Structure 1
Amino acid sequence: MWLFALVYTAGLVLHHGVLGAVVDGWPGVASRWCAVLVCWLAARRARLMRVKIALVAAALTAQSGADTLIGVLAFRGVAIPFLSPADVGYVVFCAGLLTAVLVTGRRELAGTASSAWLDILVGSLGASSVLAVVLAPVWAPALTAPTLADRAVAVAYPLLDLFLVAATAGIAAARGSRTRTGRGWLAVGMAFYAGTDVLYALQRTDGTFVPGRLLDIGCVIAIAMIAMLADRAARTRTVESVGHHERMTRWTALAVRTAATAAAVGVLVMGTRIRVSSLAVTLAAGILVTATARTLVAYRQLARMAHLRRLESTTDPLTGLANRRALIADAHTLLTRPEATTRALLLLDLDKFKDVNDELGHHAGDQLLVDVAARMRHHLRPGDLLARPGGDEFAALLEQADRAQALTVAGKLRYALAAPITVAGSELRPGVSIGIAVFPDDGEDLSTLLRSADVAMYQAKLAGGGCRVFDASPVA
């Protein structure tokens, strides 16, 4: 394939643009058909991307067939009409590449966040707006073709180039792809082919195109590149994680978004000074709208991430209750409020919890803690704070509660935990020892209240369980 491409290139250079069918015409055709063969063999061998590579192979087949037809007609000296079967082949080629991108993108980007889709849209619109300005000289002649069919084909060429460039930019802007080679290899070949075809369209429009020049090499190289990279992709046996490429991919996406937004601003500014096509202006305006939406989505994502991090740092991962950090922060707020007259702190410790871990395993102990937390949460008032400082200890800060009310709540909690709990096939009746300290009599801050409640809970433990209220009076 590359040998034929090299011979074709050498023939064009040595003949100074005079197309010779034997020397440089047929090597170009042979190079294209070699690329087709490589692609079909790659599709047969592929495991992960067989459908995609088969679509690319079909597209290359259509393109090579069109080029072969053009070569045969040129060799026989037959004039090539503008609308011919070769035009159909070229259109099918571009459509096939785009279909391959869509088919693969649908699978690889399934479940992708809206921000990634906005990145793709920004990149696609940015490249399209710039190319719409570049292709402005091509649109007018295309729209004035004599027949409807001629106009359709003439418009299809620059439009497909626009789509190819848009797809290439969208691939570059996409992040979070599940395969390392999934779409990148196709983007390289598409970009090269689209660039060559755009130059060809511009030269045809201004009348400077001459067959057999070095520009013809671009198409051959692009097709060979697509076939080579398709063969490389077919050798991929496993889906590669992009974890170690994530940083580079994010920088690429950011660079594409920035360049696309700058291009949109440039097109709109240019439109105030010179005549710019309505298509280019519309695409540029679409970029600004999409970029604004992307910024809003990014802001919401950052706010959500910050909220989740705060939640993770203040939540016990096992029971979902507040952890020690949240207890300290929330208690400080509750105890320093002007309306905070009387509050009570209950410190609860499960009896014989170590025996559950030793006999049934730690997974059973964890399940017991989860069930106990759910029962206690159900029997507390909406304004009360329930936390798990650690281990098998729980703390409940009661709002507007004196000693009598605290004892009532403690009794409800003991009654709730007296009902059997089934864990790992065993029926358990977890006992609980509760120490009670009242604000502000037993402490004016959480640290003092915790020490007082801990003393009361220890006394309850010594008594075999139950509730004890902290008593600071000396024992006679």
Structure 2
Amino acid sequence: MRGERLPWTLLGAGLVSYSGGIIYHNATAGGQSATLGPSPADIGWLLFYPACYAAVIMLLRRRLVRLHRSVWLDAVVGVLGIAALTSGLAVLMARSNAELDVWSLTINVVYPVADLLLILLVVTVFGLLGWRPGRVWWLLGASLVGFAGADSLLLVIVEAGWEPPVGVLSTLWLFSTLTPALAAWVRPRWQPSARMSGWGVITVPLALAVLALGLLVLGATVDLPPVTVALAAATVLAALARAACTFVEVQHLVESSVLARTDDLTGLANRRAFLERLARLEHDGTAGRAVLLLLDLDRFKTINDSLGHHTGDALLIQVGSRICAALRPGDLLARLGGDEFAVLLDNADADVARRVADRILAILAEPFDVGGTTLHVTASIGAAIHPDD
């Protein structure tokens, strides 16, 4: 697919680089056991990771409607958290392997950190896509997790001085190499653009914030380097900033939800909000009797045509205000459109509906003062009783 050629090309280049490292290692190491020492093959292996990161992010960008600002804060939390973890791992490995030089230590710290980033990236993608990413992402995610698992397993085996189980690791690496190739050939099914929602969005930053807190607590009992403590503290601060940004975004969503269910002119509930309330009433098996009143102003078109729409709008605002004054607490008033209003009376019967309708008609019979013009309005009201009608 034209729009996805670049990320798949990057992933393919990463696999070529990874394969080059394997070919060089097999050609030079022969039958020797794996060691912790650096090798030119590490260049090919390590270049695979940034290619994967870039490819995954570019593919994800095509599925999301837009990236919120909080996602960029997630990246900051991730970088700081991984940096804190890296510095802590480096100190622990240096203490347990005093014979390693700086290059060997660096290489062997980078691999587990890069694998962890790969797993966190996959988890983040699946969370952003609502854990229903589709066949392509399942294949690609399984491949990347397989790479991370195989590399981590090899590092643990070599660190412990054991002989690597060639069959198991080779099978896992072969699976991890073939799976993205299959994913690249699978034509993805059409799916709507994903929207960032749910717990999956904050899973990774939350985990890294907990990790940073753990490092800070550990630093109180174990001698950790100042840079590790500083990075852990920065991670917690970034996570707090992310939480504050999320709070603001949630407020905006709430405001948008309210606006979507509010009539712009009168400030009353609109047709959508009223229909949602009716739907809840219909599906609520414990709901009592209720009455729906539909109200329509008589000859309102004449007022609009003779005095202008601005006068008609001002009149509708006053009409809505007066109807509200005639209702009971808890009753719902909505403007369905034009000069049509609806009232939902909970726990009401025909007698209650008649009394409320009479109050509405009486209060609307009083003259309206609209911009210095006195207007007289009458209305027609119909009623339906739930669940009878």
TM-score range, shorter chain: 0.5 to 0.7
Partner of 2:347: none
CA distance in 2 between counterparts of 1:376 and 1:228 reads 66
The residue number in structure 1 matching 2:224 is 276
Cα 1:298–1:63 change in 2 (3 A) is closer
Whether 1:87 aligns to 2:39 is no
Displacement of 1:266: 1.4
Shift of 1:158: 2.5
Name the SS for the 2:366 alignment partner: helix
Please give the secondary structure, in 2, of the residue aligned with 1:351. helix
Tell me the CA shift for residue 84 of structure 1. Answer: 4.5
Q: 1:190-243 deviations in whole A, cap 9, x for unaligned?
A: 334334434544665x5x435x52278436514522421441353133342377
1:65 partner amino acid: G
Match of 1:66 in 2: 21
Match of 1:299 among 247, 261, 266: 247
| SS of 2:221 mapped into structure 1 | coil
Change (3 A) 1:133 1:99: same
Q: Which amino acid in the other structure matches residue 321 of structure 1? A: L
**Residue 209 of structure 1 pairs with residue 164 of structure 2:** no
1:306-334, Cα deviation, whole Å (9 max, x unpaired): 3333334431xxxx3115559xxxxxxxx
Q: Which runs of 5+ in 2 are unaligned?
A: 271-296, 321-334, 342-358, 378-389
* Closer, same or farther: CA 108–391 of 1 in aligned 2, 3 Å: closer
Matched, 1:113 2:113: no
Alpha carbons of structure 1 residues 219 and 281: separation in structure 2 relative to 1, 3 Å: farther
Larger Rg: 1
- The aligned counterpart of 1:159 is 110
CA distance in 1, matches of 2:73, 2:138: 19
Rate the CA distance shift 1:124–1:374 in 2: closer, same or farther, 3 A. farther
1:173 and 1:256 in contact (8 A); partners too: yes
Partner residue in 2 for 1:197: 151
Q: What amino acid does structure 2 have at the position aligned with 1:450?
A: L
Structure 2 counterpart of 1:236:
187
In structure 2, give the amino acid aligned to 1:393. Answer: D
Does the alignment pair 1:50 with 2:5? yes
Corresponding position of 2:366: 452
Whose relative contact order is higher, 1 or 2, with alpha carbons under 8 Å and at least 6 apart? 2
Query: 1:312/1:102 Cα in 2 relative to 1: closer, same or farther (>3 Å)?
Result: closer
Q: Aligned with 1:314: secondary structure?
A: coil
Asked if 1:349 corresponds to 2:303, the answer is no
Tell me the TM-score normalised to structure 1 length.
Answer: 0.51
Number of matched pairs: 313
**In 2, Cα distance between the equivalents of 1:163 and 1:447?**
73
% same residue: 18
The AA in structure 2 aligned to 1:68 is: I
Bigger Cα displacement from structure 2, 386-395 vs 112-121 = 386-395
Give the secondary structure class of the aligned counterpart of 2:300.
strand
Give the equivalent residue in structure 2 for 1:357: none
Do the aligned residues in 1 keep the contact of 2:84 with 2:228 (CA within 8 Å)?
yes
What is the CA-CA distance between 1:72 and the residue it aligns to? 2.3
Q: C-alpha separation between the residues in 2 aligned to 1:201 and 1:99?
A: 25
Cα displacement string for residues 164-203 of structure 1 (whole angstroms, at most 9, x for unaligned residues) = 4224314423444495356554444333433443454466
1:83 deviates by: 5.4
Please give the secondary structure, in 1, of the residue aligned with 2:198: helix
Alignment check: 8 A CA contact 2:17 2:44 kept: yes
Asked if 2 retains the 8 angstrom alpha-carbon contact of 1:133 and 1:280, the reply is yes
Unaligned runs of 5+ in 1: 1-45, 327-345, 354-367, 396-444, 458-465, 471-476
Matched to 2:20, the amino acid is: G
2:348 counterpart of 1:393: no
Residue 290 of structure 1 is matched in structure 2 by: 238
CA deviation profile, 1:397-447 (whole Å, cap 9, x unmatched)? xxxxxxxxxxxxxxxxxxxxxxxxxxxxxxxxxxxxxxxxxxxxxxxx987
Q: Structure 1 residues 209 and 56 mapped into 2: Cα distance closer, same or farther (>3 Å)?
A: farther
Considering only aligned residues, what root-mean-square deviation do their CA atoms show, in Å?
4.8
CA distance in structure 1 between the partners assigned to 2:152 and 2:87 by the alignment: 11
* Residue identity in the other structure for 1:298: T
Q: In the TM superposition, what is the alpha-carbon distance from 1:351 to its structure 2 partner?
A: 2.3
Q: Is the 8 A contact 1:168 1:191 kept in 2?
A: yes
What is the alpha-carbon distance in structure 2 between the residues aligned to residue 78 and residue 169 of structure 1?
30
Cα distance, 1:132 vs structure 2: 5.0
Mapped partners of 1:78, 1:168: distance in 2: 27
CA change 1:469–1:188 in 2 (3 A) is closer
Aligned match of 2:178: 227
Deviation at 1:270, TM superposition (A): 0.9
Structure 1 184/162 Cα, relative in aligned 2: closer, same or farther at 3 Å?
A: farther
Could you tell me the TM-score, scaled by structure 2's length?
0.60
CA distance in 2, matches of 1:84, 1:93: 15
